[in-house]
A and B are shown apart, each in its own frame.
Chain A
Amino acid sequence: MTDNDIQNWMNEPDGKELYRMACEVKRAHAVPSAQPDVDAEWQSFRTRHMSKKPATWHKFIAVAASLLLICGIGIAAILPVFRQETAQSQDTPVTPKEAQAQPKGTVTVSAESFVFHQVTLENILNQLAAHYHAQVQFANPELKSITLYVQIDKNQTLQQAVQFLNHFDKVNIRLQGDTMVVE
């Protein structure tokens, strides 16, 4: 129908209703020339739209990411504490994880090493003195009570052990013959 044809009956008093009815007649008989291939449509849809995961997935990832971030901040906050206590040398790596696994204030002695966990410097040096048959002298008694987490290889020389302990900011030990002098 041309616009003019339509106008012919649109001008009837019930033209609007007739128009609406014509639309429905048109609709009722509108059948696509071919039925869609649903499997092909699914494949095409999948590649176009489903690489994006649904919103809840995004939320999940966001939650996981923020948890990770919080953990990261947590570790970053804890790390400096250990860093001071574990100025590590390469031959005796000490990780914060190992430190946390052990109870505080314990000394673990094995055939190869001492592991001092949050042990006072006085205690540490006394044990080392016994091992190396050396003496201990505290020029600065305040340092007796600082606690350290440290692992010392028994095969090291006394000199190496002292050098290693001197990596800690607060610790300054001088070897005077067989005597460790803490300054």
Chain B
Amino acid sequence: MYSEKQFEHLFKEHYEAMYNLAFSMLRDEEESRDVVHDVFARIWEKQPEIRSGTERAYLLNSVRNGCANRIRALSQEERLRKLYPEEIQLSLNAVQEAEQLEHIRQYMENDMPPDTRTVLQLCIMQDQSYKQASEQLQMSVGYINKQIVKGLRMLRDKFNPKRTE
């Protein structure tokens, strides 16, 4: 059972990591804040037994579940447009997942051919259409699509090599 002081400590220590995780999934500041507050509100109300030392994993997993519920509530089209995952991978815990995301960032920065990286940046990270990107980069739409597929495959082979479907 958390005293108010302990609870405040828990809140302040983990808030930022939880918020960043939520934001990485939802890409919306207000929604992310809501998810994190919901997690803390439930803990304060229900006072679950959280084994000492596992608080971070517990909190991050709760955030992930909260986000997954929100994503699940959206329509298929909306999920696709926002590049929300079809399902939340449960093979990784939230802490490992955060590490993997960091590795993806580093790999793109350091090991990816510049053209491929630039295209991924414009189209995926900045939500530009193929057409916009082709104008900006003076490349054909076909080439852009090729770079996207190539880049995603590189990442897939690097980070999810065993997955076959």
Residues on A close to B: CB < 8 A?
1-3, 5-6, 8-9, 12, 14, 16-33, 35-36, 38-39, 41-42, 45, 48-50, 52, 54-56
Contact of B37 among A19, A25, A48, A55 (CB under 8 A): A48
Cβ of A1 and Cβ of B41 under 8 Å apart?
A: no
How far in angstroms is the closest Cβ of chain A from B156? 5
Q: A14-B165, A52-B45 are in contact. Are A23 and B84 (CB under 8 A)?
A: yes
- When distances are taken between beta carbons in the complex, the residues of chain B under 8 Å from A48 are 37
How far in angstroms is the closest Cβ of chain B from A60? 11
User: Using a Cβ cutoff of 8 Å, how many contacts connect chains A and B?
Assistant: 144
Residues on B close to A: CB < 8 A?
1-2, 4, 8, 11-12, 15-16, 19-20, 23-25, 27, 29, 32-33, 36-37, 40-41, 44-47, 77, 80-81, 83-86, 100-102, 104-105, 108, 120-121, 123-125, 127-131, 145, 148-149, 151-153, 155-156, 159-160, 163, 165
What is the predominant secondary structure among interface residues of chain A facing chain B?
helix
Between A and B, 12 residue pairs with Cβ closer than 8 Å are: A3-B81, A9-B145, A9-B149, A12-B149, A14-B153, A14-B156, A19-B83, A20-B160, A27-B101, A29-B125, A38-B12, A42-B11
How far in angstroms is the closest Cβ of chain A from B104? 4
Cβ of A5 and Cβ of B123 under 8 Å apart?
A: yes
What is the predominant secondary structure among interface residues of chain B facing chain A?
helix
Contact of A42 among B12, B81, B102, B124 (CB under 8 A): B12
How far in angstroms is the closest Cβ of chain A from B26? 9
Cβ of B155 and Cβ of A27 under 8 Å apart?
A: no
How far is A139 from B105 in the complex, measured between Cα atoms in Å?
Answer: 108
Contact of A32 among B1, B19, B120, B160 (CB under 8 A): B19
Of B27, B36, B40, B83, most buried by chain A (CB within 10 Å of CB) is B83
How far in angstroms is the closest Cβ of chain A from B60? 14
Q: Which single residue of chain A is at the shortest CB-CB distance from B102?
A: A28
- When distances are taken between beta carbons in the complex, the residues of chain A under 8 Å from B23 are 30-32
